[in-house]
Amino acid sequence: MKRLIEGHKRFLAEAFPLKRGQFHLLAEGQQPETLFITCADSRIVPDLILQTQPGDLFLCRNAGNVIPRAGEPGGGVSATIEYAVEVLKVRHLIVCGHSDCGVIRALMDPERLTGLSSVQDWLRHVEPAWAYVGEVERNAGELTRHTALTHANVLVQLDNLRTHAYIRRALAESRLQVHGWYYDILSGGIEQFDEGAGKFVSLAG
């Protein structure tokens, strides 16, 4: 806790004065162009890996970058997405999974979660990812299986997203684009799902 308080003091003394004008504008309101949905994992720092600034990204984070299907109890996640698309009118929606994700590890070994009823319950949103993973990857080593499942989970959540009528409407009216991403913690690289190629490819090219 001490580290956080000291950090905040440094922010007030050093970082804030440098961007005072920017914060004055932001205090009037926000117009983010992008809704970034990613895992709660502490190792993903969107403003760092995308070099974005305050006001750029509307964030929705939860374990496993889950988007509950329409009609399912989605709580804060569904409300956050609906607000971003319908009120803030974000133009891009990104779902970003990541390497070494604990939720995907739990999916591979559900016994790790014994006794964690909320997490077990949440995991059912991720389970359909198995259906997207081919036989070869399913029987591959742990790392390959984990990556394949994480990629698959991004696609599952994009499918879930499209179960919401307002999302289908926004897509049909070409006022929203959706993107599936995967962030690799070790290399820092991001992959993007390429629909034409049917696979994830480097975002940086």
Both tokens assigned to 124: 């059912």
Cβ proximity to Zn ion, 98 vs 164, nearer residue: 98
Candidates 35, 39, 57, 170; binder of Zn ion (CB under 5 A) is 39
Cβ proximity to Zn ion, 41 vs 191, nearer residue: 41
Cβ proximity to Zn ion, 59 vs 88, nearer residue: 59
Q: How far apart are CA 159 and CA 88, in angstroms?
A: 22
* Residues touching Zn ion, count (CB under 5 A): 3
Segment near Zn ion (CB under 5 A); pick from 30-38, 79-87, 96-104, 156-164: 96-104
Both tokens assigned to 160: 């879930």
Q: How far apart are CA 137 and CA 144, in angstroms?
A: 6
Q: Applying CB under 5 A, does 101 fall inside the site for Zn ion?
A: yes
Query: With contact defined as beta carbons under 8 Å apart, do 44 and 183 qualify?
Result: yes
Q: How far apart are CA 56 and CA 98, in angstroms?
A: 21
CA distances from 52 to 17, 18, 122 (A): 18, 16, 30
Per-state percent for the chain, helix, strand, coil, to nearest 5? 50, 15, 35
**Least Å from the CB of residue 82 to Zn ion:** 23
Q: Applying CB under 5 A, does 66 fall inside the site for Zn ion?
A: no
Q: Applying CB under 5 A, does 191 fall inside the site for Zn ion?
A: no
Segment near Zn ion (CB under 5 A); pick from 33-41, 143-151, 159-167, 183-191: 33-41
Cβ proximity to Zn ion, 37 vs 39, nearer residue: 39
List residues near Zn ion by CB under 5 A.
Answer: 39, 41, 101
